[in-house]
Structure 1
């Protein structure tokens, strides 16, 4: 019996050793395997919950949350998602026991923009920034309630920087107004609500206009609701679309010829010939289309029941300025209303400088040197071929320290009589000052000086020999308080 007892003891000891080895190295509940499993589960849970910003690192059952958090609420939601990624968890059940946040706050978004679009098919697309997951969920539910069963797509993102006041209420109001339109979009940019769309019912147009105009401060409403377009041109990433009715084949050919002359991208023609005559409407196309096709995006609509042409979208400052000049002389019954937003290009890249003045001067010099800011002989206004260079110059000025000023030095050609040289040089400088002011530069930062050809060579200290022949020179100044 003693030998048998010893044998059983040895077998039991071997079993205990095997169970111990399995528990330490093979069991799902050992420390290494548990940490790996929790890492996978918490990462998957964050992704499923839409916390793309969040990074989780497991230290045993202790979770460390990091990343650029869009809002404080987002940190709380992400922490709760991690804590419940493996059920109730805890020490006994092997889940996350604690979440430590070392997440940084992402900088506030400015401008804070939320957007909703209703397609001609009735679908709603929500995008842009929202201040919390709770508001995001509420707006999505609101959209589904007013969509009459049409699809609702959510592209919204959490961000900080929403203005004070009833932001959610204004966004919901915008959704309700959008739902009553045939198609259109709503943009809430900081405290400004813009409602743009089409409604064939005049009563709907009037009701939406009244509601949006009368929203409470500090918010402001900008309604732009029109009837169905008879003809339109649309610029987008897909190219230029020409759509709607024209009265004859000759009108169609003229519009196509005009578009091909001024637009270099893909052109889609969906125009049809209809039994209709609107005398004088083609003059608006002739004056507006050549500059409109240079928009970054937008629509040019013709509504014979309204004032005529409505032009919306985004364009460079020079394109907008030339378009306004071209359509200014249109008269009733068909005039043109421009509701477009100016968008600057990127400023030129320059070598880093030691001081704000040097950095600014480098950008301004690069804009002037690489562009073509030129004038017809004896003319004060820059040639329209100078538009791209003027836009880059405006972008350079906008990128400079707001405390800096600019001396705009203009001069005339040597062929002009000397008494007229200084006056023409000053007129050219004034024209450039006016352009920069129109892009949003404070007039107090700008001054204009005119030179004759000889005086300019003496007064302008240029870094390169070719600068003496330029009609415009710009000097960056430190402004005294």
Structure 2
């Protein structure tokens, strides 16, 4: 074939291709130009059908276009309604196909609605919304609570089973979201409100705590996990002001706040504690909050007035030490007692004379605690011995320290205070310089009435006393049969056995005796007889070693005495006549009965309610109803 003819055919084919390209472009352009019009027409026709599906003032059917596809959304009230709408949409001229995303209104159990705060992109709603409330109406309420113009993505579906006042609860939760960082979530499950997220700042955290303390009527709080904001300048301080304390700075949680408050109240022994703490994060992960607070409390216990501060990762203390030995104690704590992750700060303490000089005796059902200062070890031993002789049930806890400057007559005043306190069920005796303040609750009105006059007779010259003692409220009176049953119950399992040769009560005695004393307060006609036991025949107490006394100046040592005895003859000393075993055992039984009676009287029984019964042989002590 000639080359010219081949070239001609190639040119004709190229011409056809060149002509098709403009036609294809023209077709695409017409399609792109016409598509929006077709989509708009399809949507308009679909919306005309949606307009006929009104419930609660709004159509339940929603129409959207995806190209030439028509998407139907919403929740139909029933299956027939859904089928009718889909049939009408299918009859439209124009949609390529109908995509059904129509659900049915069902009962949600539990009924749950959730709102997730996304910050700049607004709020996403999920779960169920009440079928009785229109979608748009609820969206208006939610955005109004958050802030007008807030973007909203509503994926919630209409359902039955919503609690009454759903809108009030939903808007209450929605209003909290702007105070939280993006990612926060509010959930309403039936009538329970839950909220989680991180507060944007300290003011928002406090506002959230206040708002959540008052949920809408008919609703309660469920899981609330609000993280405090994170700050860089994390600090915590405890200032002692003599009679009280002030807490400032930050704590990472409510539990840490309560621990700090409890520590401050213990230090002030009931004095005023001002809480200025704020919740915030920022404490290094290497520091345990409870360890830090406990450490600061130990340092604060060594100052009369001043401040313990955690700042910049270190703990410092400054102020007036409670006594001279407190300064090296604080320095030792900084060296050896610091918790992990905490650096040692400065110790700036001055030792000043104690003013006022103060000692307190506090009696509770659990213990009798002595705190404050005493002048020397001898006074401490005397005070503790006097207290242990006057109380039986509670342990005596010693928290005193030694310091100079005690007022004249302090030891005698403490003896008087111990005597008064032993007659109270609960109370406190505070000795400040030369004055005694006694407060508490007496077991009987008569004892409360006598207390103001009695205190002046127990104090040394130059001391003053102030008394505020009230009578304990009488318990409900029980009938005779109930009282007898109570005695039987209190003594049924009691095993009151004394050590050989001893009259001391052991802890095993206390539960049964305390139960009897409590019973006597509600049984005024109750009378019991206490019988002490004798030791078994031939029983001997364990030997006790005599303490060796050091030889005084001028006194001969044991070896010298022995040599002297070899030279000098001494007449044998007369041996006292031994008592018969029966008489000795009888005396021991009566002493044990007396010890039990004294305990019951101290515990609250009246003198006429308890008496000594016949002595018993070997075995446990007994308490029986008196005739």
Which protein is bigger by CA-based radius of gyration?
Answer: 2
Q: Normalization by structure 2: what TM-score?
A: 0.29
